[in-house]
Amino acid sequence: MSLDLDTAAPPGGGGDRARPARAAHRRPASLTRLDLKYSPYLYVLPFFAIFAVFSAYPIGYTVWIALTDRSPLNATISFVGLDNFVELLTDDPQFWNAVVNTFGMFVLSTVPQLLLALVLANALNRKLRAQTFFRMAIAMPIITSTAVVALIFSMIYAKDFGLVNWLLDLVGLGPIDWRANRLASWFAISTMVDWRWVGYNALIYLAAMQSISKDMYEAAALDGASRRRQFWSITIPQLRPTIIFTLIISTIGGLQLFTEPLLFTSGSGGISGGSEGQFQTITMYLLDVMNTRFRWGYAGAVALVLFLLIALVSLVNYLLARRISSDK
Amino acid sequence: MTTTTLRPPVRPAAKAPRDAHQADRLWKATPLTWFGLVLGVILSLFPFYWMIVIASRTNDAANSWPPPFLPGGKLGENIQRVLENGDANIVKGLMNSFLVSGTITIATVFFGSLAGFAFAKLRFRGKNAMLLVILASMMVPIQLGVLPLYILMAELDWLNTMPSVTVPFLIGGFGIFMMRQYAEQAVPNELIEAARVDGCSTWRVYWHVVVPALRPAAAVLGLLTFMEQWNQFFWPFVVLADPANPTVQISLRSLNTAYFADNSQIFAGTLIATLPLFIVFVLFGRQIIGGIMEGAVKS
């Protein structure tokens, strides 16, 4: 949108064009050829150097380590084939507990998060006074870190003096021990995630809504379609690519959930996710295996399965979102 | 930047007045719209207010029933207690966070614009395959390689030091993609051609033609990168186990693991940890919001 303007009116720096000409100390043609040929590679080199050492190599190493019993406690490393994966998938209730928790909180946070973001974006897309104020206020939570969010909400959900329990008491409901009960803890953690991300997603939806042609709505209104009808029949289908995008981003983020449940427990021992692991996520379990039990080979298997789950769920979400919107 | 402009108020003049009137009604905010927005704003801002309330109370007042709803007078005292807390080392944490986030921000803008320029405007073999690798790298969660990366850090003797949380993040796929998208549209090819004819080397083209054109997008990339890095938790948690040399987020974690949960001190800590980004947001909120919205349209 705005970018076209920038292209049409090159920045002030463009006026400097005469300067390089002045400085054109003609270089040998061979040097120019070398420059043209190798400069591009030089410019992309920093990324690939860092990627190779700190991403590609560790990922490859993960695959290998998952096939061994490596541990800082073992003097020797032996190759164990797929044993780690077999144990993980067939004989590890704690892993499956973490999978259930992660997915539970993922669904419990993502669905309301995206729905609320859609509703907010739709409201922000109206003619409003103080537009900028509303956008800034709603986007503000993105400046907080997940650690800050977790600490603030941990107190809001405190059992004894927490704000939420006080509100519940006000309307005559008994206090809830937000950490002891599995569903309650999932709910509390999901609200932390949602508080931080609803505004962000609303801005993304708003941007997409603004690029929908206004004529479509006017035509629909002339045909007597209600606002609600316009929302479901024009806005949602037009937003399909954006919804898919936010779904995938939320999937990648949601299945990696870590900080909020970790800090939900005050004191040490947060990594176990509650007294019975009722809110231990896969990432927490991964670090548990890695740093408390020192089973590095097994941790490699956990990391790989986590990655496969993320890829699988992203794919399913993608297909679902495509399907749902094209049915309309 | 023009990205923050609102919906253009100008409508085609050719439309009949009745039409225009109807269109106006179509976009009018109903009371329900206002209700939803105001509720959204209150929910968005309340935790910030709550942060101040608890951070300015004594711990006893913070843990009382009913909870306090107005700020008290102990803010300075609580902040002093956090700053002097020997387990949290939050002053060290703040300095480390500034150092780490600042370094990564500068590196990301520089390497990102350089590579973005190459991908948008230069011709070289293997370009598309490389772009694909960069795109794929953005989809991979850090957890996948976390264990070998940890072992690598131990071998480099970087555990509990700042290079471990800086060097691996100096340039990521997002920065390159954002710069590439912007360079494609904001840097006219004719300008590059002209500079070439004048005998400019590729580097001079970058410095004199591309950098000035990329400046607005580079600023947004810098802001987003700084915010993201300042708030980083998972990886620092893995490699900065020694509380003596933390980033600010790890200092907060240390406050939380204390044997006695001192909420007013914890909240003063969250306030200190959020303040730098709050200032950034107040100064550059429009650009940040513009950046998020623009990124969304392009992807």
Q: What residue numbers bound the domain in which B158 lies?
A: 104-251
Among residues A157, A167, A116, the alpha carbon closest in space to that of A138 is found at A116
Contacts of B154 (CB under 8 A, 6+ apart): none
pLDDT of residue A192: 96
Q: Mean pLDDT in each 10-residue stretch from start to end of chain A (328 residues)?
A: 38 43 61 88 96 96 94 88 94 95 96 95 89 93 96 92 90 90 95 96 94 88 86 89 89 93 87 91 95 93 94 88 63
Q: Which fold has domain A91-327?
A: MetI-like fold (1.10.3720)
Interface predicted TM-score of the whole assembly (ipTM), two decimals: 0.88
Angle formed at CA A248 by CA A242 and CA A249, multiple of 5 degrees: 90
Query: Looking at residue A30, what is its pLDDT?
Result: 84
- Structural domain contains residue B280: no
In a domain, B89, yes or no: no
Domain assignment of residue B224, yes or no: yes
Chain A residue closest in CA terms to B171: A47
pLDDT at A306: 94
Distance CA A123, CA A212 (A): 15
Q: Where are the domains of chain A?
A: 91-327
Q: Which residues of B touch A65 (CB under 8 A)?
A: 147-148
Task: Give the span between the Cα atoms of B200 and B193, in whole angstroms.
Answer: 10
pTM of the model: 0.88
Tell me if B43 is assigned to some domain: no
Is residue A113 within 8 Å of residue A250, measured between CB atoms?
Answer: yes
Give me the total of CB pairs closer than 8 Å, taking one residue from chain A and one from chain B.
354
The answer to whether B158 and B235 have CB atoms below 8 angstroms apart is: no
Q: Is A15 left (phi over 0), alpha (psi -120 to 50) or beta?
A: alpha
Whether residue B43 lies within 8 A of chain A, CB to CB, comes out as yes
Please report the pLDDT score of residue A22 as a whole number: 46
B266 touches chain A (CB under 8 A): yes
> Which amino acid does the sequence have at B10?
V
Number of domains in chain B: 1
**DSSP letters of A133-155?**
HHHHHHHGGGGS-HHHHHHHHHH
Q: Is A68 helix (H, G, I), strand (E, B) or coil?
A: strand
**Residue stretches of chain B with pLDDT short of 50:** 1-17, 299
Record: contact B148-A14, CB cut-off 8 A: no
| B160 assigned to some structural domain | yes
Residues A137, B37 contacting (CB under 8 angstroms) = no
B291 in reach of chain A (CB within 8 A): no
Nearest Cα of chain B lies from the Cα of A308 at a distance, in angstroms, of 10
Please indicate, yes or no, if residue B291 is contained in any of the structural domains.
no
Residue-level pLDDT at A156: 93
User: A310 contacts in B (CB within 8 Å)?
Assistant: 141
pLDDT score for B30: 83
Q: How far is B271 from chain A, CA to nearest CA, in Å? A: 9
Q: How far apart are CA B260 and CA A225, in angstroms?
A: 60
Q: Which two tokens stand for residue B298?
A: 């392009």
CATH number, domain at B164? 1.10.3720.10
Q: Is B130 near chain A, with CB under 8 Å?
A: yes
Chain B residues touching A14 at Cβ < 8 A = 191, 209, 212-213
Is B199 in contact with A14 (Cβ distance < 8 A)?
no
Question: What's A256's DSSP letter?
Answer: T
Q: For residue B179, is it within any domain?
A: yes
- Return the number of other C-beta atoms located less than 10 Å from residue A164's C-beta: 16
Question: Is B180 within the bounds of a domain?
Answer: yes
Residue with tokens 């029949």: A233
Task: State which residue of chain A sits closest to B12, comparing Cα positions.
Answer: A215
Residues of chain B in contact with residue A131, where contact means CB-CB under 8 angstroms, are: 6
Q: For residues B222 and A25, what is the distance between their CA atoms, to the nearest angstrom?
A: 35
Contact assignment for B115 to A221 by CB distance below 8 Å: no
Q: Is B76 on the interface with A (CB under 8 A)?
A: no
Kindly provide the residue ranges of all beta strands, DSSP E only, lying in chain A, ordered along the sequence.
none
- For residue B86, with 0-12 CB atoms within 10 Å meaning exposed, 13-18 middle and 19 or more buried, which class applies? exposed
Q: Inform me whether the C-beta atom of residue B13 falls under 8 Å from chain A C-beta atoms.
A: no
Helix (H, G, I), strand (E, B) or coil at B71: coil
DSSP A79: B
For the stretch B120-154, pLDDT in tens is 999 999 999 999 999 999 888 999 999 999 999 99
- Best of A54, A129, A227 to disrupt the B interface by mutation (most B CBs within 10 Å)? A54
Select from A20, A42, A15, A7 the least CA-distant residue to B214: A7
Contacts of B24 in chain A (CB under 8 A): 127
